[in-house]
Structure 1
Amino acid sequence: MHRLGDKIKELRVNRGLSQDELAEKLNKNYGTTINKGMISKWENDLTEPKLETARILALFFNVTLDELIGLHNDIQTIAAHKEGEDWTEEELETIRKFKDFVRSQRKQG
């Protein structure tokens, strides 16, 4: 199962950036007000960035939103099931989390 926090951290580390440096670059390039604490919370899955912030992260790291949130991989896995097969608990949890994410973004929007 893909975790958004793990992906943000992976992308940040691959760029050789500290959390402070990432916040500084995002603020400078996109006019955001992100700080190290926010990035830490995202990376530790304590909170999730708002959709607009996730879009900015995807732009900065040159990935799609699907790649950032792991939707592409999760959907491919789920779509690979043949008709009549049972869903695993992990796949059901992925679907629940995606639905929760979409709901939370609609409430914020």
Structure 2
Amino acid sequence: MYSFGSILKNLRTSKNLSIDQLARQINDKYETKISKSMISRYENNLAEPKMDVVRIFADFFDASPDYIMGLEDGSSRDIKKKSKAIETIAAHLDEKEITEEKMKDILKYIDFIFQDDK
């Protein structure tokens, strides 16, 4: 299991944000006063966030608080996202017969298209 700090850093870097940029965006969006030094302390596991701060980061990164805290792995979150994607795709393909194999191909293609966004 990962620590809050390592997860926060991974989420921040995956969005190509510096600590300063993250602090500014979080503070602007949520009207908070989380300093860049505090974010650095979180990332280096020198401080534990309060629950309200966890919720802010979870909302900002579109993740569950359990995931941010390292209590849930990304796989259950990914499964929820994929099932929602399947429902959305199926809604657009109402009259077409979509087999499980075709759906797997569609999801592979979607992953292929967005591979540079990771």
Return the TM-score normalized by structure 2.
Answer: 0.60
What CA distance in whole angstroms lies between the structure 2 residues aligned with 1:50 and 1:6?
Answer: 17
Question: Mind listing any 5+ residue stretches in structure 2 that lack a counterpart?
Answer: 77-118
Task: State the 1:64 CA deviation.
Answer: 0.2
Task: State the 1:48 CA deviation.
Answer: 1.2
In the alignment, which residue of structure 2 is the partner of 1:4?
A: 4
Task: State the 1:44 CA deviation.
Answer: 0.3
Please show how residues 1-109 of structure 1 align to structure 2 within 5 Å: 1-73=1-73
The runs of at least 4 aligned residues of structure 1 exceeding 6 Å deviation read none
Task: State the 1:2 CA deviation.
Answer: 1.2
Return the TM-score normalized by structure 1.
Answer: 0.65
What's the % identity of the aligned pairs?
Answer: 43
RMSD between aligned residues: 1.3
Task: State the 1:17 CA deviation.
Answer: 0.3
Aligned residue-pair number: 74
Question: Mind listing any 5+ residue stretches in structure 1 that lack a counterpart?
Answer: 77-109
Read off the aligned partner of 1:50 and give its amino acid letter: K
Read off the aligned partner of 2:5 and give its amino acid letter: G
Max Rg structure: 2
Read off the aligned partner of 1:23 and give its amino acid letter: A
Q: Which has the higher contact order (CA 8 A, sep 6+)?
A: 1
What CA distance in whole angstroms lies between the structure 1 residues aligned with 2:48 and 2:19?
Answer: 15
